[in-house]
Chains A and B, each alone.
Chain A
Amino acid sequence: QKEVEQDPGPLSVPEGAIVSLNCTYSNSAFQYFMWYRQYSRKGPELLMYTYSSGNKEDGRFTAQVDKSSKYISLFIRDSQPSDSATYLCAMSVGGNEKLTFGTGTRLTIIP
């Protein structure tokens, strides 16, 4: 079993829809959770990070962490074609420790 599981997709939704991206993990020691966005042939860029459980909102993006279920989510509201990319979840035990990435979900927003 992988430490971090993420549905690779592809996921296609119409413009304006709410998108839900998810990851599950097995290591209960993970404390730091991040979402990265990666456009084709580019390096990943950080979207959001959260510590421990709870929600965090930034514009159209909301990150949720449910440590009891070992489940994290990223919601995108009012999705735009420019949101089309691969979204990777990442997590670590300690703040200075290496990140473990999910496989990424390829998302396409259809105009």
Chain B
Amino acid sequence: GAVVSQHPSRVICKSGTSVKIECRSLDFQATTMFWYRQFPKQSLMLMATSNEGSKATYEQGVEKDKFLINHASLTLSTLTVTSAHPEDSSFYICSASLGGSSGANVLTFGAGSRLTVL
């Protein structure tokens, strides 16, 4: 089946530093990937849609200069949290759409990356 690999699974950093999270589709090509953020006991919040070869589309309220997204190839999208602060601590999850004959936007998710900013 389709697999999305996300790395690192856990990262701890100091306030003010930048952190990069990678999301790879291992056995399929993903022209579109999605980045979500999840707070404890809350739902997945879509941050941005990452499009291969073009700029990401950010959701309202998400700072594009703080959360830099790059989708340089059909199998890799990266999210960089720049100048991280404690309030950026969260669980970040990427996903890729498999499409499908039904037309449903079926997503395969990575295992997530837990960011802790000290």
A residues lining the B interface (CB < 8 Å):
4, 6, 8, 32, 34, 36, 41-46, 49, 51, 88, 92, 94-99, 101-104, 106
Contacts and interface: CB of A to CB of B under 8 A. Distances in A.
Interface residues of B, number: 26
Interface of B: 4, 6, 34, 41-44, 46, 49, 91, 93, 95, 97, 99, 102-112, 114
Contacts, number: 65
Contacts of B111: 42-43
Given A51-B103, A95-B102, A95-B104, A44 B109 contact: yes
B41 A103 contact: yes
Nearest to A42: B111
Given A102-B43, A103-B41, A103-B42, A43 B106 contact: no
B114 A8 contact: no
A54 B70 CA distance: 40
Contacts of A8: 41
A46 B106 contact: yes
B36 to A, nearest CB: 8
Given A36-B109, A95-B103, 20 more contacts: A32-B104, A34-B104, A41-B91, A41-B114, A43-B93, A43-B111, A44-B93, A44-B109, A46-B106, A46-B107, A49-B102, A49-B104, A51-B102, A92-B104, A95-B104, A96-B99, A97-B105, A98-B46, A98-B105, A99-B46
